Amino acid sequence: MKYIVHDQVVLSRPPEGPLAAHIVSFANSISEQGYSAQSLKQQVRIAADFSRWLERTEIDLRSVYPEHAIRYLRYRVRHVRPCHGDRAALLRLIDFLGRNCLIADWKMLVRLPTPVESVTQAYETYLREVRALAGATIVHYVPFVKAFLEDCFGDGRVRLSRLCAGDVVRFVQRQAPRLHLKQAKLMTTALRSFLGYTCYRGDTTLDLAAAVPVVANWSMPSIPRAIPPEQIRQLLASIDRQTMVGLRDYAILLLLARLGLRAGEVASLELDDIDWNTGHLNVHGKSGQHNGLPLPTDVGRAMAAYLQHGRPHSSSRRVFLRAMAPITGFRGACAIDSIVRHSLQRAGIDAPTTGAHQFRHGLATEMLRHGASLGEIGELLGHRHPQTTTIYAKVDIEALRTLAVPWPGGMR
């Protein structure tokens, strides 16, 4: 007797075992993520087989965790011809069960965090919930803090009250020579943040943030690497807007070029951030900032074209979605940088860099050359501090030459 689980999946018999009641929900979840019919069939069938195996081995639903999936795969390889994707399919099933609270918190069962990891996780929560820092900032800070704590305490108990200025200085002196200048400066910033956090919590009596050495650096050492306008025009003209991916990429590149958004800001845009009536865009910037920007006509048209004709069906509220399953929003800035890199390669353009930030620099440079003030540029780019914008004062060399005072006595 055949059993229909989903419109596209037919099993030879009804599901059995502890997962039987959840197979249909799992199939619907996979379908909503945009997986192909073939992939959907494979994932549902392996879920049904895994459920029967759990029943035979007398494992109830609340006791399921990843080790059982590994044991089942070993069993499966001995009885069924293995298929590419079996392991990934089973992990998606485990993840589905966990997200829906159908099994115990298996992520905690795998391994208890070390003392250093516990302190680091608490600090990460503080940055996210109290300081409201951007996810990208947190990702950059946490590894340095974890490395510092491991250097001071190893695998043992973390006693923050025992930290002293010497611990901080020694760590920076050892690490800084191994890092690029920007990374070294980021490390010291992360340490000051963490040590300020320990003082705020009362874990340390002294503010050890003052003990973090300063990494020597000239202010504004280099001119921003901006993509020139002619390369932007060439790049946009090269996008095939007859395809769904082309519609998406064209809208993304226009947002970068016309509004100077950061890659992470583009990735995190949601449908509710677009006000079509007033023609404004709500941008989620750094540190929880919200920056309202006017939506240029060409950008609005490109986004509307993508939403109407290129965006896959999805329950996600993100504006821009992956083109391949799982159909979800991008995880972060790296995905936008990847789109820029591949678009430049396809167009055969030798741009200053391969990332998205060059469009931001390009917009600021063009605004400066057309007479915009640094204050206007900083407002559009969402700079919190005026000093951040002053780097563009080094860009327009020709404009600066007109301000030069003649050398006394003239030229000889």
**8 Å CB contact between 399 and 371:** no
**Is 357 annotated as catalytic?**
yes
Mean pLDDT of the chain: 84
Would you place residue 319 in the very low, low, confident or very high pLDDT band (cuts 50, 70, 90)? very high
**8 Å CB contact between 83 and 133:** no
**Helices (runs of H) and strands (runs of E) counted in the chain:** 18, 5
Rounded average pLDDT over 282-296 = 80
Indicate the angle between helix axes 86-99 and 23-32, nearest 10 degrees.
110
Hey, which of 212-226, 297-311, 324-338, 396-410 has the most confident mean pLDDT? 297-311
Buried b / exposed e along 375-399 (16+ C-beta atoms within 10 A):
eebbebbbbeeeeebebbeebeeee
d(CA 142, CA 163): 18
Residue 386 has pLDDT above 70, yes or no: no
CA dihedral 179, 182, 183, 184 (to 10 degrees): 70
In this predicted structure, what is the pLDDT of residue 389? 63
Would you place residue 412 in the very low, low, confident or very high pLDDT band (cuts 50, 70, 90)? very low
DSSP assignment string, 34-52? T--HHHHHHHHHHHHHHHH
Residue in this structure with the two tokens 């945009």, named with its chain if needed: 34
Would you place residue 391 in the very low, low, confident or very high pLDDT band (cuts 50, 70, 90)? low
Rounded average pLDDT over 163-170 = 93
pLDDT > 90: percent of the chain: 39
Contacts of 137 (CB under 8 A, 6+ apart): 127, 286, 287
Tokens in use for 401? 């030459």
Rounded average pLDDT over 7-12 = 70
Q: Catalytic: which of 286, 318, 341, 369?
A: 286
Helices (H), 100-228: 106-110, 115-129, 135-153, 165-175, 181-201
Task: Considering only CA atoms, give the Rg of the chain.
Answer: 27
Q: Catalytic: which of 65, 72, 250, 392?
A: 392
d(CA 256, CA 123): 32
Contacts of 234 (CB under 8 A, 6+ apart): 347, 349
Full-model pTM: 0.64
Nearest to 27 by CA among 47, 13, 12: 47
Q: Catalytic: which of 241, 262, 311, 322?
A: 262
In this predicted structure, what is the pLDDT of residue 284? 85
Residue 310 has pLDDT above 90, yes or no: yes
Lowest mean pLDDT among 70-74, 190-194, 289-293, 362-366: 289-293
Reported as a single tens digit per residue, the pLDDT across 199-221 is 988 898 888 998 999 876 655 45
Rounded average pLDDT over 299-319 = 94
What is the dihedral sign for C-alpha 176, 178, 181, 186? negative
d(CA 8, CA 27): 10
Would you place residue 297 in the very low, low, confident or very high pLDDT band (cuts 50, 70, 90)? very high
Q: Provide CATH 1.10.150 ranges for the chain.
A: 115-211
Rounded average pLDDT over 3-9 = 70
Edge-to-edge strands of the sheet including 290-294? 274-275, 280-284, 290-294
Rounded average pLDDT over 162-188 = 90
**Is 262 annotated as catalytic?**
yes
Environment class of residue 195 by beta-carbon count within 10 Å: exposed (0-12), middle (13-18) or buried (19+)? buried
Contacts of 299 (CB under 8 A, 6+ apart): 251, 254, 255, 258, 259
Beta carbons within 10 angstroms of residue 361's beta carbon: 21
Q: Provide CATH 1.10.443.10 ranges for the chain.
A: 229-398
CATH value of 115-211 in 1.25.10, 1.10.760, 1.10.150, 1.10.260 = 1.10.150
d(CA 144, CA 176): 11
Q: Catalytic: which of 41, 92, 146, 383?
A: 383
**Is 361 annotated as catalytic?**
no
Tokens in use for 163? 């930290």
Reported as a single tens digit per residue, the pLDDT across 250-275 is 999 999 999 989 898 999 999 999 99
* Residue with the larger pLDDT of the pair 85 and 345: 345
Angle at 335 between CA 136 and CA 237, to 5 degrees: 130
Tokens in use for 285? 């910037």
229-398 belongs to CATH 3.30.230.10: no
DSSP assignment string, 286-305? GGG-EEEEE--HHHHHHHHH
* Residue with the larger pLDDT of the pair 408 and 11: 11
